[in-house]
């Protein structure tokens, strides 16, 4: 029960911060998106039990970053959203390279933290490449679908967000499982279904709250 409460609190906090960050403009939102990408790929190593399923606590950051991209796209255009996505992807690559360098250092005899850093940072190159690659492709798909639906149905922002996130995260889950976990996790299909189910739960927590806050909290930029 405590894990469910913590998961809901984390989802709500990510949603609130996404909307509050919007009030400080495009650069603040872009920074938030980069931070969500880094947290999602770092926290994916932690394992928890949620709704009776073994999963990770990283999904609120995945959904939060995806949602923030659509907010950037709404307010600043598709190019701004693509630029934010590219910066997040570049930050992931930077983090991966730095992590590899840091764990390659020979620790001093008095270094008691080295085993912990190795446990956190020594992710195989296959997982790093799969994570960064699927993140970039799934978010590009998210932006494309959101733009397409908004063009066809300009008054359906909420529905466009739902559809774009649900489809892009299905793509992300399947691709990462195949390229990053095939041969490691068994059964793979069960893992895909379990991971996607948790992402859908996370969507139901974050998207409605974010839409409510977007409609009820004024944009600080417009008031300046």
**What is the number of domains present in the chain?**
1
pLDDT digit string, tens, across residues 43-52: 877 778 887 7
**158 within domain boundaries:** yes
**108 within domain boundaries:** no
The phi, psi pair for 49, rounded to 5°, reads -105, 125
**How do beta strands 53-55 and 48-50 pair?**
antiparallel
Those residues of the chain that have pLDDT short of 70 are 123-126, 184-186, 218-224
Cα–Cα dist 43/23, whole Å: 27
Q: How confident is the model at residue 224, as a pLDDT? A: 44
The model carries a pTM of 0.83
Cα–Cα dist 132/212, whole Å: 31
CATH code of the domain in which 156 resides: 1.10.1760
Contacts 24+ apart (CB under 8 A), 56-61: 57/6, 57/7, 57/10, 59/198, 59/199, 59/202, 60/7, 60/10, 60/11, 60/14, 60/202, 60/205, 60/206, 61/14, 61/36, 61/37
Domain boundaries, position 157: 2-103+114-223
H helices within 44-187, ranges in order? Answer: 59-76, 78-104, 114-121, 125-152, 157-176
**163 within domain boundaries:** yes
Cα–Cα dist 173/202, whole Å: 14
Q: How confident is the model at residue 83, as a pLDDT? A: 93
First CA to last CA across the chain, in angstroms? 44
**109 within domain boundaries:** no
Mean pLDDT, the chain, rounded, equals 84
């Amino acid at each position: 029960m405590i894990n469910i409460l913590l998961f809901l609190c984390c989802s709500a906090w990510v949603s609130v911060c996404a909307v509050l960050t919007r009030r400080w403009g495009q650069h603040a939102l872009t920074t938030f998106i980069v931070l969500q990408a880094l947290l999602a790929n770092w926290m994916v190593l932690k394992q928890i039990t949620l709704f009776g399923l073994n999963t990770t606590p990283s999904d609120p950051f995945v959904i939060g970053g995806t949602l923030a991209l659509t907010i950037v796209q709404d307010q600043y255009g598709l190019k701004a959203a693509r630029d934010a996505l590219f910066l997040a992807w570049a930050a992931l690559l930077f983090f991966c390279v730095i992590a590899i360098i840091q764990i390659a250092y020979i620790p001093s005899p008095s270094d008691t933290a080295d085993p912990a850093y190795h446990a956190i940072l020594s992710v195989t190159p296959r997982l790093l490449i799969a994570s960064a690659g699927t993140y970039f492709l799934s978010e590009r798909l998210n932006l494309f679908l959101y733009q397409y639906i908004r063009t066809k149905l300009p008054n359906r922002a909420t529905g466009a967000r739902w559809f774009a996130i649900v489809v892009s995260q299905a793509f992300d889950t399947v691709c990462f499982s195949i390229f990053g976990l095939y041969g490691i996790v068994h059964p793979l299909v069960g893992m895909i279904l379990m991971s996607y189910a948790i992402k859908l739960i996370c969507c139901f927590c974050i998207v409605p709250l974010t839409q409510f806050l977007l409609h009820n909290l004024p944009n600080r930029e417009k008031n300046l």
